[in-house]
Structure 1
Amino acid sequence: MSVVSTKSHADVFISYAVKDRDPVIALAQGLKKAGFSVWRDGDQLLCGDYYGEQIAQAIHHSKVVVLMLSPNSLASDNVMQEVRLVWDFGHRKILPIWLTEPGPMPERFRFCLAGTQYLSLFNNTVESILKQLVDSMRNLEVKPRIQAGSSYRLEVSEPAISPKPVTAYASFSFQEASTQDWESDLDEIDSPAFAQKIQKKFAQKSRLPLSWQNAWGMEFRLIPPGIGKLGTSPEDTDAAKSEFPEQLVPITTGFWMGTFPITGEVVQQFLQSNHRERRFERLRGDRTFARTLRSQPQARELPVTEINAEDAAILCQWLCEKDNKRYRIPTEAEWEYAARAGASGAFWWESSSERPPAAFAAKSPAPPDPTRSNAWGLMDMSGNVEEWTCSPFEKNTILDKVEEIERAVVAPSKIRTRVVRGGSWQSSQLSHLRLPRRRSMFWQKRAPDLGIRLVCMLD
């Protein structure tokens, strides 16, 4: 079996059951802090990625597979399939770790793991297992790629080919372990002023700029980790049942978010590209995709509309391949956290504002306008175009962040009803722009007031 990919790959692949997520994350972070490159599906798979293909590529290019053993993983068909792939690729470097008290090995695993030395987290600390794991890596001649403890660094250079002139194109190199101290002590972002303070503090500590532009002129703002409000309270008379409960949600990892929804300029570059991959050709040939942009050249400066969740996933894949960065659409929790930027009310601006800084009850979408920016520098989080998230819509509750990401990291068709947020230029009432307002949308729906805003991962 052969898998070919031009992307960079991690040396360590972690195979585990989702129910064992917490100890697995702790071990993965420890390996990263020691300088090893690690592939774990919760980190690497993006909304719209082809799930099986990405996992097969990751296993094929890894140097060692760390297999997390527990009753959950031994009962998992997905984990068994990953072990079979290890053998299909002629890969024999497997490091099994018992997360629970060691028990009987099912027959379907016994042959593949025969003669393999086991480690056990049972009655051991994560630190002691990490030390043994690092020693085992060295015995297998798997070396750290990054010196342990090195910090973030930012390199700025001009792109070799730029579709649109930009002042500087940021090429980032990160080590995720550099943010661990920050993530262990999250602040509740409870006011716009405090949100700005935390944003600047995170930028300074991480040695990252507050904003940067990619080769297509898309500007991104740094969103710090923190604890933010999600949903609304029973006292909100405009609320629907699906907006409850009000809760505080931890956003444990910082990210970049587009200051404005994707514009026609970016999509025009996609339409004019000559990439021959089938999914790109099919979308370029679909005349209902970005229909307004195709018929009105002046719409290049406006948010692109007539785009559905599948279109968004394909665009993200195209940008990832062109830009060598990890783009996706945000989860629902990330969207509201970034939209609020510390605001606790129904809107990100003061409710006493005579003229709300939002584009709504209009005749068409509006171009970028910095006066419609929240405390983190994001424009039009309320109004202009409604925005897709990669989160599934649940009628009676808002999913917590961990669960929704686990469910969102699949091909678009796996989640047929998505959450859209923000209201639009077609919204006739101010209440439609409320931050907790959420609507369900069929994943293949295209509409003249529905667009996307991208997130770019830090690592």
Structure 2
Amino acid sequence: MKRVQPFLVMFLLLVAGPLVFGQEKGFSVEAKPQEVLEDRVGIGERYALLIGISKYSNPTINLNYADRDAQAFQELLLDPQIGAYKPENVRLLINEEATRKNIMSALNSWLGNRVREEDSVLIYYSGHGALGNGSEAYWVTHDADVEDLYASALSNKDISQLIAGLAAKRKLTLIDSCYSEATAQKYRALVPSDVFSEFQGEGVVAITASTGQEKSVEIGGHGAFTYHLLEGMEGKGDANNNGVVELDELWNYLNEKVQKTAADAGNRQTPVLLADRLEHGFPVSINPARAAGATLSQLKQLYSEGKITVAEIGEAEQLFSQRGANPDLRKLYQDLASGTLTPEYFRRLREGSRTETPVPSTPVQLGGPVAGSSEMPMAGANPEELAAYRSAELMNTAGGWQQFLTQYPSSALTERARSRLTELETQQRAEAMAYDIAKASNTEEGWRQYLSRFPGGNHITEAKNRIEQLEAARRRKEREPAAYIMAESQNSEEGWGNFIREFPESQLAVLAQNRLDELRKVNREKENSLYARALENDSPQLWDQYIQEFPDGRFLADAMAKRTVAVRRVEEQNQYQIAAVTNTLDSWEAYLGKFPDGTNAGTARTRIQQITWATFADVTPIPGGTFQMGNARGNGDEKPPHKVELDAFHMGRTEVTNAQYSKFLEETGRRAPPAPSFDSNYLNAQPDVPVVNVTYADTEAFCKWLTEKIGTPARLPTEAEWEYAARGGQAGTLYPWGMGDPKTQARYKDNAPKGVKTVGKEPFAPNKFGLYNMSGNVAEWVGDYYSDKYYKSSAARKPSGPSSGKERVVRGGSWKTGKDELSVSSRFKMEPHKTDETMGFRVVITGLPQ
């Protein structure tokens, strides 16, 4: 059953002005509930939205009395003797009607389009309440999914914001939320001290059925609280018997009755009032018995004065002693008692009300002849008076009847004309009042009622224009819930922004703005995080991701600029990698041509210079490695054989040529070496063969010059480098080419011709490392000092010879030596200052990429 579990009833009153105890009560006994509940306290229209849900789309959480509670409140509010609400101002949503969309539409569109500042609003909810994630409280609507309250139910926060957005100064909210077995298994019960905090604020009054830990007692098909709430509003709460049930009286009645009913049932149930200040003098309902007595008292006075008949006073007593009597007829008697209607006009209107026909039953036509008039002039009127009367009758205007009465103040037709003028003025006042009401309410319904009653009225154009405008606004408002749900499903800044732009004045715009602000906060944090990552990594991929995810981001311009730089940097890195891997003049020049100011431009220029001069030097890479140096069968200075490890280096594929040396001489002005005996113009005439007759100092000067040109050290090879390169990676061989006869492999004395003795790259093939003429042709200076004992103490890694000596090592044999001297392990020596026409040199360059 609905109230087996603890539940809460919130009774909240939100008012614009201060709420103070102890004021003098400003109400007297009146015959008109509508005036007491509206005019006397400055309230305009009163609206009520009543929601009761017993049947849910998930039947396992159905309730017993929630829908009946809402229907009972509707009946009470519509009773003209108690609530006196206009039927068109009360909307009831029960069970299948009480969906999330319909409730939001009713709050936002139905109320939002009608309510003005001077109006009051009552909202009643009876049904399940539950807590979702983060302790957010929800109204569980008919179509809600208890597994996903956030997307399907209505949160207290959203509801309170919608209610707060209504223009009315007075807003009364009653919440009867229960927590059945089904929902309690998934969501814990709400805590009264804070669960309805969203509804609190200046001028808020909250009355709960119990402390939240107590069980509710049932009585008469309702919980004790609801039962006595209805009972109190029906008049029993009117403690001072002034005809009006006020808020403080209702609280005192509830507090006493609920506790007593619970105690009689053997239970404990204590209502709780939560309020900073409670308004003293705010009317909640009318005490019908007291109000009816006041009306009857005034009617009896009219009877004593002979203005109404005994039948009329009897009919009035019967009307005001019964609930559910003809409300239209009862309203006519109230207007008669207050003086709003004259007895004569009351009797004319009463005939329609008795048959429950709306009064007036036909539209009132102001001005012009009265259709179907069959009045006959009284006897004694002369023809002139008759003509004037008929003229006024055809006009049927106040001016026409006034003119007749001015001309014929004592005619036999004067009373009849005066009656017609009074009737017309009454109609005009009725039209003016209907216009004022329509203008004040400014609703489609109000303007349509005006047009219906006064189709020829003075304001029909304005009424039609306002209906058209309000229709358009209503249709627009009716689209709002669906548009809001669409924006909610998208949950994007664009979606919420579009909704706010389309419905800027909507109550839902407040919720939408809150959702947009929350989403912007999340997106801003995400944007900041992604921007920080992009700054840290500075990769095109992360900048692309930022630009794609935040096309309107705060850092977009900076991101696009940085992306351009990052893309160019990556392109430069890729181009640099290509150049570094291929290490060709073309690739480095391509890099430098595209990125002249790149981060690796200096390196590129250096490499271009190196490659240019390395090309000039005609060197080839020699890989690092380990080999057996010396020869156990060779001369004494070739022993003992020993293991040597070397790093990689570059070595000239040939000995330095006449052309290369001539370039050196040209740039440095150094003196040219003497011509050999076999060619007096050797240096100039033989560009592609080795330069000869150079001293050790000449070789050092050349290497220094080449170092400056190439930007990395150029020098003579060490003795170990020379032998390692000569072997070409082959172990145990005698010559650079292997073990074969040297006659077809090298230039030496057995095959040296007459004339020019030296050769270039032709006619002999290079060794395995691509080096030409490592044996024969010309002997080559190396960098080491000579010592015949050095091999006994040579370093195992990168040996560079003795630290001093008188002679330098010469390697390789020449065109003048025999084949025994062509061995790769043979060692020779020469004093550094000497030259010989059989002597040249070969360069080594370190620091170049392999």
TM-score (norm 1): 0.48
Structure with larger Rg: 2
Structure in which a larger fraction of residues adopt helix: 2
> Relative contact order (C-alpha < 8 Å, sep 6+): which is higher?
1
Structure in which a larger fraction of residues adopt strand: 1
TM-score (norm 2): 0.27
